Amino acid sequence: MFHVPRQTSHTLFTADLSDYELIGSGAVRSCYREPGGQTCVKFYTCQDKLHPKRKQSTRLRLLLTRHLYWFNINMQEWRYYQRLKKRLPAEVLKAFPEQMDPLYSPRYGWGLRETLLLNADGSPTRLVEKELKVMKSHAEAQELFERVSDFLSQMIRYAVPVYDPRNILVQWVSPARYELRMVDFEPRAKAFVPGLSYLAWFVRHRVATRSQRYLSRLQKDMTEAYKNV
Q: Where are the domains of the chain?
A: 11-115, 126-225
Q: What is the pLDDT of residue 191?
A: 57
**How far is 129 from 67, CA to CA, in rounded Å?**
33
The CA-based dihedral angle spanning residues 50, 221, 125, 69, taken in that order and rounded to the nearest 10 degrees:
40
Average pLDDT over residues 129-153: 95
DSSP character string of 154-188 = HHHHTT-----GGGEEEEEEETTEEEEEE------
Cβ within 8 Å of residue 112, ≥6 positions away = 41, 42, 74, 77, 78, 100, 101, 102, 103
Q: What is the pLDDT of residue 148?
A: 98
Better-predicted residue by pLDDT, 62 or 188: 62
Give the percent of the chain with pLDDT over 70: 93
pLDDT at 189 over 70: no
Q: Tell me: the pLDDT tens digits for 23-52?
A: 888 778 999 999 887 899 999 988 777 777
Q: pTM of the entire structure?
A: 0.86
Contact 161, 211 (CB under 8 A): no
Topology of the domain comprising 11-115? Phosphorylase Kinase; domain 1 (3.30.200)
Average per-residue pLDDT for the chain? 89
Q: What is the pLDDT of residue 46?
A: 84
